Amino acid sequence: MAPGATIDLIVAGSTATTSGVDLAAAYAIDNEVAPILTYSYGSCEQALGSAGNVFYNSLWEQAAAEGITVLVAAGDNGSAGCDNATAGIAATQGLAVNGAASTPYNIAVGGTEFVEGATASTYLNGANAPDFSSAFGYIPETAWNEGCDPGQPASETNCIYSNANFSLLAGGGGASTIYSKPAWQTGPGVPADSARDVPDVAIATASGHDDFVYCTSLAGTPCQLNGQSVTGLTLVGGTSAATPTMAGILALVEQKNGAFQGQANHVLYRLAQMQGNSCDSSKQLNPTVQTTCVFHDVTSGSDAVPCTGGSRSVLRPWPAQMDF
112, 139 contact by CB (below 8 A):
no
271 belongs to a structural domain = yes
Residue-range definition of the domain harbouring residue 264? 20-115+135-205+239-323
Environment class of 300 (CB within 10 Å of its CB; exposed 0-12, middle 13-18, buried 19+): middle
Peptide bond into 153 cis (omega under 30): no
Mean pLDDT of the region 104-131: 89
Total number of domains constituting the chain: 1
6 belongs to a structural domain = no
> What are residue 317's DSSP bridge partners?
302
210 belongs to a structural domain = no
Whole-number Å distance between alpha carbons of 303 and 113: 12
35 belongs to a structural domain = yes
- Helix segments in the chain, DSSP class H: 20-30, 45-65, 120-123, 207-210, 239-257, 265-273
pLDDT greater at residue 101 or residue 127: 101
Whole-number Å distance between alpha carbons of 263 and 277: 20
8 belongs to a structural domain = no
186 has pLDDT over 90: yes
235 has pLDDT over 90: no
In this predicted structure, which of 52-56, 96-100, 230-234, 269-273 has the lowest mean pLDDT?
230-234
Angle, CA 163 vertex, CA 158 and CA 168 arms, to 5°: 50
Look up residue 179 and give its amino acid: Y
7 belongs to a structural domain = no
Q: Is 230 helix (H, G, I), strand (E, B) or coil?
A: strand
Portion of the chain with pLDDT greater than 90, in percent = 57
For the packed helices 45-65 and 20-30, what is the interaxial angle rounded to 10 degrees? 20
The pLDDT assigned to 308 comes to 83
Q: Any idea what the CATH number is for the domain that residue 91 is in?
A: 3.40.50.200
The pLDDT assigned to 119 comes to 82
129 belongs to a structural domain = no
Whole-number Å distance between alpha carbons of 95 and 182: 21
pTM for this prediction: 0.90
Mean pLDDT of the region 160-184: 88
281 belongs to a structural domain = yes
Whole-number Å distance between alpha carbons of 86 and 152: 18
Mean pLDDT of the region 285-306: 88
The pLDDT assigned to 4 comes to 86
> What are residue 201's DSSP bridge partners?
109
The torsion angle over the Cα atoms of residues 247, 296, 312 and 172, rounded to 10 degrees, is: 10
Mean pLDDT of the region 226-237: 70
Give tens-digit pLDDT for 207-226: 777 766 666 655 556 677 66
